[in-house]
Structure 1
Amino acid sequence: MSKGMRVNSNVWALVIQHVIAKKGLDSARHVWKLVQETNFQPNAFVGSHVIRMFNLLGSVDEANEVFSQLTRPNIYTWNAIISANAKHGQGDLAIKLYHQMVEVHGEPDDFVFVSVLKGCVGAGALDEAKVVHHHVTRTEYEPEAMVTSALLDTYAKCGTLEDVKREFELSSKQDPIAWSAAIAAYAQRGRPQEAFKLYQQMIQANVKPNNITFMGVLKACAKVGALQQGKTIHGHIIKCKLDKDVLIESNLIDMYAQCNSLVDAIEVYEKSAKKEVVVWNSMISAYAHFGRLHDAVEVYENMVKKSMEVNGPSYIALQKACISQYALDQGREFHKTSDYWDYFDKPEVGAAIIEMYAKCGGSLDEAHAVFKKLPKGDSLPWCALIAAHTHQGDGIGALKLFKQMQQDGICPDANIFGAALNAASLMTDLSEGKLIHEQVKDKGLESEPIVSRALIDMYTKFKSFGEAKQIFDTVQNNEAVEALMAGFARYGCSKEALNFYEELKVADIELSNSVYASLLKACQGGSSLESGIAIHDHIKGRGLVTDPFVCSALINMYSEFGELEQACMVFDSVKPNLFTGNAMLHALVKHDQHEAAFHLFHEMQQEGLDVNEATLLPLLKACTKTGCLNHGKHLHALIIERDLEANQVLARALIGMYSKLEGIEEARNHFKKMPVQDPATWKFWLDIVAHKKGFSSALECLQDVKEKEKPHVAIFDPLLAACSEEALVDEGYALLKMMKDKYDVTPTASQYAQFVALLEHMGRFNEAAKLIEGLSLPNNVDSWASFLVSYRQHASLGNPHAFNDDDILSDVYINERSRAEATKLHVLHRALEAWKNPGVAVIEEQTEVILAHRAELTAKIEKMKMYFKDGRRLIKRSPNSDKAKEEALCGHCEKLAIAFGLLNTPPGTTLRVSKNLRVCADCHNATKIISKIEKRDIIIRDAYRIHHFKAGECSCNDFY
């Protein structure tokens, strides 16, 4: 191309499109150089394309340089440069350019409004956003829906809630813009109750709500699942004649879906007159929320038939629908389609595709392949990739990406921090998480809902409830409430959950459905039926007894407490729906009411209710338990009919059913036909094969892993377990070597620990000790404690000075008749004040947990002494004499609890005892004899395992 030769603008546009598709920044620079040489002064049309090219390739500085050389930019050029700066975190410059454009060019168009509002979000410029809003209101034409949506998003994200509150208090109370901004901000920032209150005050002040007002308050309803409030707002919308606004319709569909009312969502969709693309997209998302992939695809196909413009959000919604049903193949098809229509390079679409591959059983390699094709300057793809690694259990890889992103100059936003904190939750300690927390504080993002939720979730997973509560006290948003209550529920902290609940009531904080569900679950963990009933009464007072989600939680609670009749009463009190139906199915199957479960399922089908994973899973379990193969095959056909074959949870249930009812070969056929085989399913399958056919057969199945596909480390667990069960030491060594050499998989600490246990069981203590020392396994104290237990079982004293678990070490000395050494150990304990924690045991007595007291039990203990004298090899542990030993062992806390149970429960009742320390050998053997003489099942949960004593035997086979 000769210098000075003029080239048609359309030719340049085609060349630039090609460069963008190839992702070549060097090529882009060469093209810009040619444009300058051949066109002398590039026109606005070509300049706009060049700016867009540099924007998409991540070089905003070069985009600004191009703009500076244009003498007569048009509206498209202004929008291109404002959009580029807003996208790449230069919000202040985007706002400055916007004001220059208004001064030079005049009235902006809708695309410019959207671009500058994104810049306002990036800069946290609430005042500037309001200026833009005023510009929007004075335009001569009605702004497009995308402008309204951008305004809503800006008000929700700009500045802090304190900023919003201050600005609102200073504004005119007759200004609907100020009301709408505050309502939207409170709704998006996890304060839906404040949004509701503001809306009520707005109505009382006779200020007419607009579409932004209604969208904000609808989002608040969706946040807490407030269906009745949502319906009331819907009535107000109709009264204000805004029900035909397409964005309002879209938000109504979203709200009804989030409030678990698909029927209402469909009604809004079907009544929509215009049915613009945003309404179609919302309906796809609604079906995705309910796991109805088939219906979501049908809406998409109807869009195509009606020549609707399928856009980026359409493909995002479709990928969400695929995720809901683990439909990897369908997700791949939509990936290809979005790529074909040139939506793939949009960061938000690419991020959704990455999420799909991570959650539908695809490989991280596929997710990385998508990531490499996306613009690197946007944080969304980074966030999606970090979350993908976290979802597949690779916290280390996720945190490496987080650090790499910052090294590449990308500043983490709230979403990125949320993803990184979730990854930190997978670590062995809080060190990484606390470093990220410090960054969050420095950025002032602790109060962002997604961040506060992730922080509280992380701290509660490490049982650091004090720090989690401090974060809640600081931010007090709805997400923080939900996360903290979920944390209490996760670990059965019923007392803490109930105290927190009382605190929320005093503060008059409205609770979401998920908070009530977590609270009821926490009651189960603490065996507190009375508290659950009290919460049920409170729910009635709040008018939530008809809410499907809350009623499902109530059914689950009553079922866990064995109150099936109460669960049925809750179920019967509400209109038939999928959520309570599924909960009732689980309850019936849990209590072996299989016939009733099948009958209920038949009724649900007659009611026209859909089925999903939660419906089918308990029914498959019922088929497996009862041997109802024909019922199981009918359910399998239904799974195929509803496009649920890719659902890995259901697939595992089917394989388990066929393996038990038809045999391993039939189960193998079904396994091979599965469209997707994720690591959990492989592990499940290998576990079945190992259990039924042994290690060799399971090892053969490992060859079925697809060639060139790196197997997940977890699928080796069943193979190592089979080695342990069959006492295959050499095969275990070979397997560990194969993992590293053939599959490039590093065995986990728990896998090494399992193999160490095998070595100990086989009496190969030197090898076990070398392995523990050489690997620096985490929880080394536990590893050595386990080692010493085995050492004692094999009655081999060896060199006990090398070991640290003094309690077990003392036992070893006693068993070897080295009482002098045992005495020295006790003297040393006293000198160093290094006593172990005092033993505490509790026993269940009907609905109470009882801590037994020695004084009440003297008579029973005296009787128990006779058992011990009659038993073989029972009295083994005491530093002084047989008499002292006899007295000491009878005072051990678990025996006190057992004595209490024998005195206070009817003959034949199972005794359940919990102890905070490891059960000692004397107590273990004594309990075996008690179980035989008293004809009782006795279950003791100690710090290391559960022991089930029955007829003189223990479930641990004396390996404790």
Structure 2
Amino acid sequence: MIPFSCRNVKLFPENFICTPFFMNFQPLRLFGGQILKEESTTLAQVIQSYAKTKQLNKGKELHAHLLRTHYPLCIFLTNHLLNMYSKCGHVDYALKVFDQMPHRNLVSWTAMVTGFSQNLRFSESFKAFSQMRIAGESPTQFAFASVISACVVLGSVEIGRQLHSLALKLGLACELFVGSNLADMYSKCGFMVEACKVFEEMPSKDAVSWTSMIDGYAKSGDFEAALLTYKRMVSDGIGIDKHVVSSALSACSALEACQFGKCVHSTGVKLGLEVEVAVGNALVDVYSKSGDMESALNVFRVDPECRNIVSYSSLINGYVVMDKIEKAFSVFVDLQRRGAEPNQFTFSSLIKACANQAALEQGIQLHAQVVKFNFDRDDFVSSVLVDMYGRCGLLDHSIQVFDEVPTPTEVAWNSLLSVFAVHGLGNDALKTFSRMVQAGVKPNAITFISLLTGCSHSGLVEEGLKYFYSLEKTYGIVPRAGHYSCVIDLLGRAGRLEEAEEFINSMPMQPNAFGWCSFLGACTIHGDKERGKLAAEKLIQLEPENSGAHVLLSTIYAKEQKWEDFRGVRRIMRDSSMKKLPGYSWIDIGNKTHTFGAEDWSHPQKKEIYEKLDSLLDQIKKAGYVPNTDLVLRDMDDNSKVELLHHHSERIAIAFAMISMPAGKPIIVKKNIRVCLDCHSAIKYISLVVGRKIIVRDNTRFHHFADGLCSCGDYW
């Protein structure tokens, strides 16, 4: 017989000595030249026990003793040796024994197929399976299960399909082990239709196949199907284990289905599974993503020993999403105090929080820890660092972090594009997009949102339209509502309101709130009253509680001097307890954030602040600044209007920064609403007369003021 493998495997060391333990075996009792069945059974049981307990050395010693005493190894005992060596992780020993066997049977071949698979030598498992077929043996369901499992690891769904066909031909496809592994293979490879078909055709289903289906649906993104399968499993009385509960909770987490998650939680508690680490982690995640931080914290506290970095990271991310940044950092401090090492997801959530809050000092400290834990080359962490520095106004730092990423993926490229977009650097965004494509990185839907936004803030209308119309034709991306809204914004900012209206009318769907808000804002700025009223009405229909829509509509009426209509809109706001979003600005000095509202007199240093503010007003007036009092839509004299503009929150923040920060350090002010035209003009003059760089981030973009100019070129 031709050996399965010709590799030279040294089975035992040359100086091997048997231990006295084996001297206790009695001489063999033969009958008609055959070993008595009881003798073989006893030896097989011993070999089997070594296989179960992974006692390789004792198994080798027994095998050597049998060889030294010329014990006639029957195929029954040899098959047990094959199994023992494979289960002890030494499949090469099993292969040597297999190659020296004078005769092999189906069990021998099955032992090698499963042995290779168990030891992660999948290509050899396939080879053994093929050789078994060539030898004329019909595979068992266990051999099928092993090679199908290998397909899962290798992602070889085509080989899996061939095995499925063979199993059907041999009538084994509905066997429990074969069917379960086929369903698992299809689900993990993302072929849920085939997985579902196999699953439904199985006459009997164990918990493993149910779990595979739930997990497969969840991983393929069909979370509703995952939960429906879970419900079927429960109603059919199938035993629930920690794997099922964890998979079901993962689906609840993705759907933010808190109520369903509570039902699964209840089942887990009844079965005593809440203390399982995987279940606890999944529960913290589902409650955190649903915004129920109280329940998440209660689960987190159930068993302190079960806390790990996964549950810590879920809790931190939950607080970040809820904008409870201080609590997120408190959890981070606690995990470090307890000796848990943060991972890339922990850092990503916290850095994202710093980006949202423009908390530069905390972001820099986190960056230092990222370097300490060697995550600075992680693509996802690097991407949020790029975003964080960009949102904090440090464009050069963003570019530097990006340039240090060895092989940027689309996530990193999209972060850099987004930074250029929010800074109004449309040409840089276009160049970055070209570099991205040349690097062989395929752009996605998010890429074009940033690209179109950059074009919109820079007045690159034709370029933006070109990329929008190339979305589907060139890049195979079906435009979404967000892309259409960007085009509305692109045309509206440029004052091409008629084109914007025609574009809206040609859309395959109605604009979303952002689209109507962009159109309304453009109509307000460019003085198109009729289109503005239409946009306001549409926006109010979509978001009745949106105070911004009512404010902009009242602004249109005020510009027309239709004071009755103006008062009517304000009356609606008052009667519905709708409050206008107050404008405020904030600035970080050291480790403290200072927040200011318009005409804010609450700061302990108010005397020094307003003295500086008045001094600045005198300086910029001499330099040519003229207040735009037309922007104040109130019935008051011009002096009062000038005073009102002079006390806008961003100017107060700038005055405070000038009396609190070193002269050479850039001033970075954050504002929650759009910077007004008059403040924009005033800050340009301030940057000129004091010779200082001032960065203002409003709710849509950055403005970099220096030497009397703004990076936006007065287009924003």
Question: Which category of TM-score, normalised to the shorter sequence, fits these structures?
Answer: 0.5 to 0.7
Which of 335, 344, 350 is the matching residue for 2:182?
Answer: 350
Partners in 2 of 1:727 and 1:588 — Cα distance?
27
SS in 2 for 1:319: helix
Tell me if the contact between 1:910 and 1:939 (Cα under 8 Å) persists in the aligned partners: no
Structure 2 CA distance for partners of 1:894 and 1:436, relative to 1, 3 Å: farther
Tell me if the contact between 1:694 and 1:722 (Cα under 8 Å) persists in the aligned partners: no
1:466 aligns with 2:288: no
Partners in 2 of 1:533 and 1:621 — Cα distance?
16
Tell me if the contact between 2:533 and 2:553 (Cα under 8 Å) persists in the aligned partners: no
1:415 Cα shift?
2.9
Which of 547, 570, 578 is the matching residue for 1:806?
Answer: 547
Partners in 2 of 1:723 and 1:528 — Cα distance?
34
In the alignment, what sits opposite 2:251?
423
1:762 aligns with 2:500: yes
Tell me if the contact between 1:351 and 1:381 (Cα under 8 Å) persists in the aligned partners: yes
In the alignment, what sits opposite 2:152?
319
Q: Which amino acid aligns with 1:349?
A: N
1:857 aligns with 2:609: yes
Partners in 1 of 2:482 and 2:196 — Cα distance?
31
Q: Which amino acid aligns with 2:403?
A: D
1:528 aligns with 2:350: no
In the alignment, what sits opposite 1:789?
521
Partners in 1 of 2:173 and 2:483 — Cα distance?
47
Which of 717, 737, 748 is the matching residue for 2:479?
Answer: 717
In the alignment, what sits opposite 1:49?
none
In the alignment, what sits opposite 1:918?
673
SS in 1 for 2:587: strand
Q: Which amino acid aligns with 2:145?
A: G
In the alignment, what sits opposite 1:332?
158
SS in 1 for 2:670: strand
Partners in 1 of 2:148 and 2:202 — Cα distance?
16
Structure 2 CA distance for partners of 1:865 and 1:321, relative to 1, 3 Å: farther
Question: Any unmatched runs of 5+ in structure 2?
Answer: 1-37, 57-82, 98-110, 133-138, 355-360, 387-397, 417-432, 453-462, 597-602
Equivalenced residues, count? 543
SS in 1 for 2:631: coil
Q: Which amino acid aligns with 1:919?
A: R
TM-score, normalising length from structure 2?
A: 0.57
Tell me if the contact between 1:422 and 1:458 (Cα under 8 Å) persists in the aligned partners: yes
Q: Which amino acid aligns with 1:876?
A: L
Q: Which amino acid aligns with 2:279?
A: V
Partners in 2 of 1:561 and 1:935 — Cα distance?
29
1:455 Cα shift?
1.9
Q: Which amino acid aligns with 1:590?
A: V
1:368 Cα shift?
3.7
Structure 2 CA distance for partners of 1:927 and 1:343, relative to 1, 3 Å: farther
Which of 698, 701, 704 is the matching residue for 1:946?
Answer: 701
Partners in 2 of 1:695 and 1:406 — Cα distance?
48
1:348 Cα shift?
4.3
Partners in 2 of 1:728 and 1:919 — Cα distance?
17
Structure 2 CA distance for partners of 1:389 and 1:787, relative to 1, 3 Å: farther
1:147 Cα shift?
5.8
In the alignment, what sits opposite 1:552?
374
Q: For residues 501-650 of structure 1, what are the structure 2 equivalents within 5 Å?
A: 501=332, 503=334, 511=340, 513=341, 515-521=342-348, 524=351, 525-526=353-354, 527-528=361-362, 551-553=373-375, 590=401, 592=403, 616-617=407-408
Structure 2 CA distance for partners of 1:282 and 1:395, relative to 1, 3 Å: same
TM-score, normalising length from structure 1?
A: 0.45
Question: Any unmatched runs of 5+ in structure 1?
Answer: 1-106, 111-136, 150-209, 212-243, 251-267, 285-295, 323-329, 537-548, 564-586, 598-615, 626-654, 662-666, 672-679, 706-714, 730-753
Q: Which of structures 1 and 2 has the larger relative contact order (alpha carbons within 8 angstroms, sep 6+)?
A: 2
Q: Which amino acid aligns with 1:940?
A: R
CA radius of gyration, larger in: 2
Partners in 2 of 1:688 and 1:765 — Cα distance?
19
Partners in 2 of 1:415 and 1:759 — Cα distance?
56
SS in 2 for 1:914: strand
Q: Which moved more, 1:718-727 or 1:494-503?
A: 718-727
1:892 Cα shift?
4.0
Partners in 2 of 1:456 and 1:321 — Cα distance?
32
1:940 Cα shift?
1.1
1:875 Cα shift?
5.4
1:384 Cα shift?
3.5
Superimposed CA distance per residue, residues 133-179 of structure 1 (whole angstroms, 9 cap, x where no aligned partner): xxxx9x96454578669xxxxxxxxxxxxxxxxxxxxxxxxxxxxxx
Which of 325, 330, 338 is the matching residue for 1:499?
Answer: 330
1:472 Cα shift?
0.9
Q: Which amino acid aligns with 1:862?
A: D
Q: Which amino acid aligns with 2:286?
A: M
Superimposed CA distance per residue, residues 193-224 of structure 1 (whole angstroms, 9 cap, x where no aligned partner): xxxxxxxxxxxxxxxxx99xxxxxxxxxxxxx
Structure 2 CA distance for partners of 1:946 and 1:684, relative to 1, 3 Å: closer
In the alignment, what sits opposite 1:483?
311
Q: Which amino acid aligns with 1:354?
A: Y
Identical residues among aligned pairs (%): 16
1:468 Cα shift?
1.1
Tell me if the contact between 2:488 and 2:519 (Cα under 8 Å) persists in the aligned partners: no
Tell me if the contact between 1:940 and 1:947 (Cα under 8 Å) persists in the aligned partners: yes
Partners in 1 of 2:364 and 2:504 — Cα distance?
54
Q: Which amino acid aligns with 2:701?
A: I
Tell me if the contact between 1:865 and 1:886 (Cα under 8 Å) persists in the aligned partners: no
In the alignment, what sits opposite 2:284?
456
Which of 653, 674, 690 is the matching residue for 1:897?
Answer: 653
Structure 2 CA distance for partners of 1:502 and 1:619, relative to 1, 3 Å: closer
Q: Which amino acid aligns with 1:592?
A: D
CA RMSD across the alignment:
5.9
Q: Which amino acid aligns with 2:631?
A: K
1:700 Cα shift?
3.8
Tell me if the contact between 2:249 and 2:264 (Cα under 8 Å) persists in the aligned partners: yes
Q: Which amino acid aligns with 1:918?
A: I
Tell me if the contact between 2:226 and 2:251 (Cα under 8 Å) persists in the aligned partners: yes
Partners in 1 of 2:465 and 2:506 — Cα distance?
29
Partners in 1 of 2:666 and 2:93 — Cα distance?
60
